[in-house]
Amino acid sequence: MEDKTEFKFYNEDNWADKPIPATLDSEYETKAWGFKKPGEKFAPITIARGKPGDYDVKVDMRYCGICFTDVCVASNQLGGTMYPVVPGHELMGVVEEVGSKVTKVKVGDNVGIGCLCDACMKCNSCKRGDEQYCEVGGWGHIYNSNKIYDTMPGNKDVQTFGGYSGSHCVNEHFIMKVPEGMPMEKAAPILCAGVTMYDPLRHWGATKGNKMCIGIIGIGGLGTMGIKIAKALGHRVVAISTSASKEAMAKEKGADAFVVSTDEASMAKEAKTCDIILNSVSFPHQVQHYMSLLNNSGTIVQIGIFTDEHKLNQAPMIFGRHSVAASLIGGIESTEECLALCAKHNILPDTVTVTANQLD
């Protein structure tokens, strides 16, 4: 057995100390919740944000999702966290103020902001709505990111701060209207988990009204959203898990079939059925284990940020025209489509609402 007594949740190396400078005239101050150093407690801090320019929208924050990557970045698990860090990338709020040239939303609108807040808007990826693959200098994340282009208002030398705060202010391009009647306190994870599952279905041709068979590996936050979305799109859905105990939940969320991936007989029952498999697993695994579930011309899409190597044999792939692909969240247009689909089919993530002082 590995000795885990030395395990630290946070990473002591490779983080940056970026003290918050004095607030500029072009900025306003707002309360936020964040971490000053790795290993410290989640606590209130004061940050500055840019006042809205001509194309910017200031949003009075109401709710913000808590995603596992918030925990990872806050604790510097992936390295590269700039402290202080204010996490939160599934923002829901009400428009408080708009710049003079904003046309997308108006004061009082319920809106969301996701991971994306900054991109060149000129490269081929941005032009086709894939801002998350911006080719010029990468894209800016709503927190723990440098301000790369001229998109974000405020001090260019300060890192971005996320949604655990009183308000936020971004360019209207990155603001998404929350569909009428959608409860903001439930919908926030659609901006991350939702679009992370929706966008690969969109990219690999499963949102055009055609009927496919979609496999979903990992029945957690991403997986249950994937089941609901794939089902709403009219597909047959195969839920896949190492744990037989997830079957009832997967079926309750809409899965037509359930595969225990550690059980050969269970795997054999769905052999060669899945046109697309969304693999949300982010712990060590071998993608090849799941390839037998792919239909001819099928694609397995890896979603998890996971850095171990997969051992892949191309010979069996050739005889089924199989692909192993990977996908990262989704662009703004894709997220808006996902919100609309979820509103139409009353799809909401399974959430529990807490206040900031209940977290540590």
| Residues linked to residue 239 through DSSP beta bridges, in sequence order | 216, 258
At closest approach, how far in Å is the CB of 160 from a second copy?
Answer: 18
d(CA 13, CA 18) in angstroms, rounded, equals 15
At closest approach, how far in Å is the CB of 295 from a second copy?
Answer: 8
- Using left for φ > 0, alpha for ψ between -120 and 50, and beta otherwise, residue 205 falls in left
Window 185 to 224, contacts with a second copy (CB under 8 A): 203
Per-residue interface string for the shown chain with a second copy, residues 277-316, x marking contact by CB under 8 A: ----------x--------xx-x--xxxxxxxxxxxxxx-
Q: How many residues does the chain have?
A: 360
At closest approach, how far in Å is the CB of 78 from a second copy?
Answer: 10
Of residues 202, 247, 200, 208, the one with CA closest to residue 224: 247
Window 37 to 66, contacts with a second copy (CB under 8 A): none
Residue 31 sits in the site that holds a second copy (CB under 8 A): no
* Residue with Cβ nearer a second copy (293 or 303): 303
* Residue with Cβ nearer a second copy (104 or 272): 272
Residue 187, exposed/middle/buried by CB under 10 A (0-12, 13-18, 19+)? buried
Please count the other Cβ atoms lying within 10 Å of the Cβ belonging to residue 337.
18
d(CA 106, CA 118) in angstroms, rounded, equals 21
Residue 323 sits in the site that holds a second copy (CB under 8 A): yes
Residue 68 sits in the site that holds a second copy (CB under 8 A): no
* Residue with Cβ nearer a second copy (130 or 172): 130
Q: Which residues bind a second copy (CB under 8 A)?
A: 124-125, 130, 133, 135, 203, 272, 287, 296-297, 299, 302-315, 317-328
